[in-house]
Amino acid sequence: MNKLLEKLNLPEYVLDILENSKGVIIPKTRTELVELAFGPEDKSFFEVEYEVEGIGTVVEATVTKCKNGASVNYMDDYMRRRDPNSLIVSDDKATDKPTFKGTYQKEFEPLRQETFEWLKQQELIFYPFKSGGMEHGYDSILVAPSNAGFFAAGLADLQAFLNIDEINEFDLKAIIFLAPPFRHTHFDGKQIVVHNRLDKVHEVYSYNLYPGPSAKKGIYGVLLNIGEQEGWTTAHASTVKVVTPYDNEIVIMHEGASGGGKSEMIEKVHREMDGRIVVGTNTVSGEKEYIDFKDSCELYPVTDDMALCHPDIQNDSKKLVVQDAEAGWFLRLDNITSYGSSPEYEKIFTHPKEPLIFLNIQGVPNATCLVWEHTLDRDGTPCPNPRVILPRDLVPEVISDSVEIDVRSFGVRAPACTKEHPTYGIMGLFHVLPPALAWLWRLVAPRGYNNPSIIDTKGMTSEGVGSYWPFATGKMVTQANLLLDQIVKSENTRYVLIPNQHIGAYKVSFMPQWISREYIARRGSAKFKPEHLVEARCPLFGYGLESLKIEGQYIRRGFLQPERQPEVGKEGYDAGAVILTDFFAKELEKFNTDALDPLGRKIIEVFKNNGTVQDYIDLIPMRY
């Protein structure tokens, strides 16, 4: 083992942990990793348990061996979705995030050493991987107890797993230390993940077994921190190349908070059994609005959640260029509620080429795990956050190269709106945004209505700058400046805003982004002539469409301009606009400081002065 570790040039304290532990397993293949998920005896049903001081034996999760992979279920409902407040920063570098010292009134170092001592008492899993993808990623390692094999396998699928035998050079930039019992002994059962940004290495201490805030978003935080030092960022976005039936091509990057429709943007249009498409269902009358077009666009997915905007892949196109920052995708399965909900993906999940890691899905030993059978929470309702970790090389038609972005869309979960019960659910099917307004939406990043992915789902809250702020460790204004610089430099990339769940009084699910994707792709590069656009009644929405025709069929104007819906009217719309504008005012104030780029301050001043859409265009020109 010593010879293997020597070439990694690991810090002395890491070598000390490995050399003084009860043993170290260094998996070299994915097959070995998946086998570790079922424990040392390769059981068909394995309990991941720990001895917790003052409590006794605690079973954190169970792992069921199924024909198509490992079905992982947590005992605690709370552990089945990400806590958005899990990130704590322990170092003294610049941050706007809660600090360990400020939160707990003590230094982190004693707990850090206690974590190391606990790890020494365990048999460990250790392996190297790349944070941010194989081509432009950063050398990283995992140190974890061996009975957390499912976590190790999941991390290896999400990031770029490395066979230690094949490494020639290694420049360590990040470490994940996994110590699950500490959530009980030190953090009142919470999903705390501590980020310790040393000068040369970014340490991530995962004090829980849910991979969301650590193996997934923890590594996202590592990339954001590196980018903050180097002047670039990683977008919270899915990306897809769309090819129309007429062979037009366009690349769309869809950003937004958790639940904002990123994974759905790379799904095909959902249809009824007869092939028709339900545009929306009126929540007052129950009436459904249909359209029907036979030829859908072909989809070639690029990213699912993390789009690396690394400087080494930018070019002279004056468009943003991105590449996937992940080796695998953490897909939410709440939309698959019965057989046939998503046939293409169901086939992959039911009969994968390699065993998969499923979370919050019911599993029966040695049977096939069915992704529409979601684990029940204690109240008897299905867990809203069932997941699967899907290696990207199992995704059909996936693109691994970098791509130029023609259109950046931003998704917002919206509640129903009527004149009797006004809300911010007043966005049309999609809106065309001037770049300055697109930047404001990325500062405010509404988390929105009924979010299934995280614990805090009530009311309208902000996901924070870039919609990736819950995963960042630095300064909000720094990220705001990076995003503004990115938008200014990408003058040939266009911007749209797309709601999901509701448009006014209509329940629409993710249909707005599927229809918008089909329509925008057919237009080619989202080029809209001014005469095709109408200034939205609420300036924050930029422009709406006067009409929308796809495959010879018109979408009703009430879906494009919700104030035309009789259930909403101008009265309900304007009341909703006040709600949204007040929310923007509250969220933007925290950015309006001397540290903000002067152009950014001018944009915020336009908002504060109730500026028009043209006022925003005057600051950053808009390419129609």
Residue 388 in any domain: the answer is: no
Percent of the chain clearing pLDDT 90 (strictly above):
87
Within a domain: 562 = yes
> What is the DSSP track for 230-276?
HT--EEEEEEEEEE-TT--EEEEEEEESTTSSHHHHTSPPP--TTS-
pLDDT bucket at 614, cuts 50 / 70 / 90: very high
The CATH number assigned to the domain holding 486 equals 3.90.228.20
- 586: which residues sit within 8 A by CB, 6+ positions away? none
Judge whether residue 2 has pLDDT over 80. Answer: no
Within a domain: 389: no
Cα angle, residue 402 at apex, residues 399 and 406 outer, rounded to 5°? 95
Question: Domain boundary at 195, 230, 265, which?
Answer: 230
For residue 285, pLDDT beyond 50: yes
| H/E run at residue 227 | helix 217-230
Residues 295 and 413 occupy one common structural domain: yes
Is the residue at 400 inside a domain?
no
Q: At what angle do helices 435-444 and 598-608 cross, to 10 degrees?
A: 90
Distance CA 196, CA 97 (A): 12
pLDDT band at 457 (very low <50, low <70, confident <90, very high): very low
**The total number of structural domains that make up the chain:** 2
Q: With a cut of 60, say whether residue 332 has pLDDT above it.
A: yes
- Assess if residue 95 is contained within a domain: yes
Say what the pTM is: 0.94
- Phi and psi angles of residue 571, each rounded to the nearest 5 degrees, phi first: -65, -50
Same domain, 211 and 244: no
The domain boundary residue, chosen from 175, 208, 230: 230
Domain identity same for 127 and 144: yes
Q: Is residue 108 part of a domain?
A: yes
Q: Residue 125 sits in a domain of what CATH number?
A: 3.40.449.10
Q: Which helix (H) or strand (E) holds 294?
A: none
In three-state secondary structure terms, 138 is strand
**Short-list 350, 359, 363, 360, CA closest to 66:** 363
Q: Quick one: 420 and 541 in the same domain?
A: yes
Q: Are residues 566 and 426 in the same domain?
A: yes
Range of the domain at 194: 2-37+84-230
Q: What's the pLDDT tens digit per position in 498-507?
A: 999 999 999 9
Shared domain for 173 and 252, answered yes or no, is no
Contact 264, 513 (CB under 8 A): yes
Report if residue 373 sits inside a domain: no
How confident is the model over 376-388, as pLDDT tens digits?
999 999 999 999 9
Give yes or no: residues 211 and 312 share one domain: no
516 is a domain residue: yes
* Whether residues 147 and 265 fall in one domain: no
Check whether residue 216 and residue 245 sit in a common domain: no
- Residue 106's pLDDT band (boundaries 50, 70, 90)? very high
Among 205, 230, 255, the domain-final residue is 230
**Dihedral angle sign, alpha carbons of residues 174, 152, 240, 416:** negative
Phi/psi of residue 400, nearest 5 degrees: -95, -20
pLDDT tens across 348-398, in order?
A: 999 999 999 999 999 999 999 999 999 999 999 999 999 999 999 999 999
Q: Does the structure show a pLDDT above 70 at 521?
A: yes
pLDDT tens track for 237-272: 999 999 999 888 999 999 998 789 998 999 889 888
Confidence label for 5 from pLDDT (cuts 50, 70 and 90): confident
Looking at the fold, whether 248 and 152 belong to one and the same domain comes out as no
239 and 138 housed in the same domain: no
| Structural tokens at position 280 | 């929306």
Q: What DSSP letter does each residue of 559-605 carry, written as one string?
A: HHSGGGSTTTHHHHHHHHHHHHHHHHHHHHGGG-STTS-HHHHHHHH
209 touches 60 (CB < 8 A): yes
Same structural domain, 157 and 286: no
